[in-house]
Each structure stands twice: as structure tokens, then as C-alpha cells.
A and B are shown apart, each in its own frame.
Chain A
Amino acid sequence: NCNYFQLQAQTAITFRNNSGDVVEFHGLEGTGKTETLYHLMSRCIMPVQSGGLEVAVVFIDTDYHFDMLRLVSVLEGRSENESEERVRLCLHRLSVVHCNCSVQLLLTLHYLENTFSSQLSLSLLVIDSISSFYWVDRFNGGESTVCQEANCLLDRLRRNYGIVIFATTHVIMRNYGSDPGVSEVPGSSSSSSRRWRSADRATDFDKPYLCKAWQRIVTHRMLFTKSPVSKDHKQIFSTACTSITIKGVKRCSFHVMEDGVKFVCDK
């Protein structure tokens, strides 16, 4: 169970022929979402002999906080005794794009469609984060067509090319009116938010708020939290995963170390 991430990433990514999964990482700042992305990306771009999947990854950075040095530390930590040349070879499989508004994100996804169709080793698309422009788009007039178009395009990418999509979303709304132990939230209007209600106690910060087009394509949703207790002076982070294919909630805990994420097997 503690290797759930690795298993899930592997089964989702190695089969480019199937319709890919869309995984949403949701959580407050500092709960390990981007760290987990670096962990997954390093596993994807590393060669097979080092335990990787040797697939190409596109990383779309909308917050402009992509930390290349951190990714390189994770890569060096995972592959012992690897030369810098090997690390550079891994980095050739990674492409980084910076987007500053949802229109540019939409146009970039259109541009990347050609890249996905021509480069068969490209199997993973990471968007960190997909909710960066939420308030700007709201200010410009509600659920804009740009957001819907972008999500339709993401759906098309995963169906036609079997791309797996990982996207992080910030917590910007609080669940006022959620009651621990009550599965149906009174006053919750959209069925999509009920769909993602955790089987047991809901936290205050797991309210889905992105447009319906996004809620429809998400297949797995992972809620990240930072535990108030620490074990051996190491901060414990945990994640609860709900999915449309699997019943119940899968939980996992991890520490963030200098060389990446280390899972805690406590089951």
C-alpha cells in the first residue's frame, strides 16, 4: 500500500494505448504536492536500468515556481553513483513550459497536441497548477469558454494519445457547512462535488471548485494534508486518494527528505 503511488503511476503510464488517467493533487500550500510531482517525474524520466520508466514528460508551470535544482537533487538521490552525464540524459526527457494566463495555457495545449502525436515516448503531462488563473477567469466572467475548451482539449489528449495528466490545485475555498460524519452536504448544489466527497470524515479544505468540464475528466483525486504530529523530528505528510474506478479511500503517508519523498509503511 505504501508503494501505491509508484504502482499507480506505473500502471497508468506504461500503457500509452489506453485512455489515460487524470489525477488531481489537491491540498494547502506546503503539503507536499509539488514534491510528490518531482518524485513521480524523476521516476518517469530515469532509465529502466535505474528503476525508471524512461518516458518523456511535459511540465507546464503556471506558478513560475519550478525548481530545477530540487528536481536534480531528487534525481541524484534516487540514482546512486550516476554521473552528471546520466542526469543530463534524464533531463533531456523533460520539457518545461511556463504559462502566464489561461489563454496562453489553452494555446500551448493546442501547440503541444502536435508534439504528443509525433513524439511517442511522451506519456505524461504535468500541470502545476491548473487553478492558478481561477480568480482571474472568474473576474473575466464566470466559467469562461477558455477553461471549458482547455478541459475538452485535455480530455481529447488523454483519449486519443493515452496521455496521463497530473494537475495540482490550490485550496482556495473552505467547506463551510461540511459536517464530519455526514456524507451528503446540505446545500451543495452540484453533483460533481458530492461525487468527490471522501467516504469518511471530510476535511475543511477539500471542496472542488474548478469548472464542471474539469470535474468530469478527473479519474483520481488525491487530498494532501500535513500532519500536526511528527515522527523522529520528521514532518509527516499524508494523502487520501479517491477514484472513480476504486471504491473507498486509499491513504498513504510520507516524509520529504533531502533526496525526495520517502513513504512510511505503517500498515
Chain B
Amino acid sequence: MVILREGVCPGINEEFIKALQSEDIKTVEDFVSCNPEELARKCSLSYALVAVRRVLLAQYTAFPVSGADLYEELLSSTAILSTGNPRSQTYMWRIHSIIWCTVERFGVIVFFFLRN
């Protein structure tokens, strides 16, 4: 819950906050959920609140990443290391297990493939 205050985003001043509070809008989510045209009319605010809405959305939303970019990033930051376990000749089944561990210092995601 993000409370609307002066300085949360450029373009929000005290007058703006007071006008919104008169319509019972105290948080960013209340502000974003309202129809901007209707709000501009009710609070007698300029249409600049559409720009403010866009800036707030850009600040607080999670950014969508393209699947291809995510895949590239994963490939470039992954190393596959063999644990050296010899494949067993006697048994016909294999156990695959993937363990994720992040080495924070080097920022490398390491996969261990264990095969029996």
C-alpha cells in the first residue's frame, strides 16, 4: 500500500494531494483504479493527472520481460558442471535431479545434473 504524498512523483504537490483526499483517494492504488477523466472533473484538476497516473504506473508496476530476453539472460548466466558420477551399468533407470544454487558473489546460476 503506497500512500500518496508530496514527492512520491514529480507533479504531485500539496494542492493535488488535498484535492484527491477530498474524494477519499489516499493511496496510489485508489488513484490508479479511478477513471482519470471523471477524477479531473470532480477534483477540478488539470488533465496533467493522466501524466501523473502514467508515471506512477511506471514507478510501481512490475516490468514485463520478453521470453526471448529472459532465455538469453539465462543462457549467458548458466554453467553446467558435471559432478563426475559414473553412469551405472547395472541399473536401467536414471535419476535426474536439478539443484539450483546461486553463487552471489559471481552472480552465476549453477546447475548440477546428477545421473546414476
A residues adjacent to B (C-beta < 8 A): 45, 58, 68-69, 71-72, 88-100, 103-104, 106-108, 110-112, 115, 140, 146, 149, 153
Q: Determine the distance from Cα of A93 to Cα of B1 in the docked complex, in whole angstroms.
A: 32
A91 touching B66, Cβ below 8 Å? yes
Across the two chains, which residue of chain A brings its CB closest to B32?
A110
How many interface residues does B have (CB within 8 Å)?
Answer: 20
Contact of B61 (CB < 8 Å), options: A72, A94, A95, A107: A107
Q: Verify B57–A95 contact, CB threshold 8 A.
A: no
The complex places the Cα of A107 from the Cα of B28 at a distance, in Å, of: 9
Query: A112 CA to B2 CA in the complex, in Å?
Result: 20
Instruction: Pick the interface stretch among B4-12, B39-47, B68-76.
Output: B68-76
Whether a CB of chain A sits under 8 angstroms from the CB of B103 is no
- A92/B67 contact (C-beta < 8 A), A107-B28, A107-B29 known: yes
Would B71 and A88 count as touching, CB distance under 8 A? yes
User: Are B29 and A111 within 8 A (Cβ)?
Assistant: no
11 contacts between A and B (CB under 8 A): A91-B66, A91-B71, A92-B67, A94-B68, A95-B64, A100-B62, A103-B28, A103-B60, A104-B62, A107-B28, A107-B57
Chain A interface main SS type: helix
Residues of chain A within 8 A (CB-CB) of B81 are: none
**Residues in A neighbouring B99, C-beta threshold 8 A:** none
Instruction: For the complex, give the distance between the alpha carbons of A99 and B74 in Å.
Output: 19
Question: Using a CB–CB distance below 8 Å, which chain B residues touch chain A?
Answer: 1-2, 28-29, 32-33, 57-58, 60-68, 70-71, 74
C-alpha spacing A222/B17, complex, angstroms: 45
* B26 CB → nearest A CB, Å: 12
Alpha-carbon distance A140/B70, docked complex (angstroms): 33
- A229 to B113, alpha carbons, bound, how many Å? 28
Q: Return the contact of A91 from the options B1, B32, B67 (Cβ within 8 A).
A: B67
Query: Is the CB–CB distance between B74 and A69 below 8 Å?
Result: yes
Interface pair B65/A95, CB less than 8 Å apart: yes
Nearest CB of chain A from residue B76's CB, rounded to whole Å: 13
Known: A58-B64, A96-B67. A68 touches B29 (CB 8 A): no
Given contacts A107-B60, A110-B32, A111-B57, contact A68 B66 (CB under 8 A): no
Task: Tell me if B68 and A92 are in contact (CB < 8 A).
Answer: yes
Q: How many whole Å from B108's CB to the nearest CB in chain A?
A: 15
Q: Is the CB of A103 within 8 A of B2?
A: yes
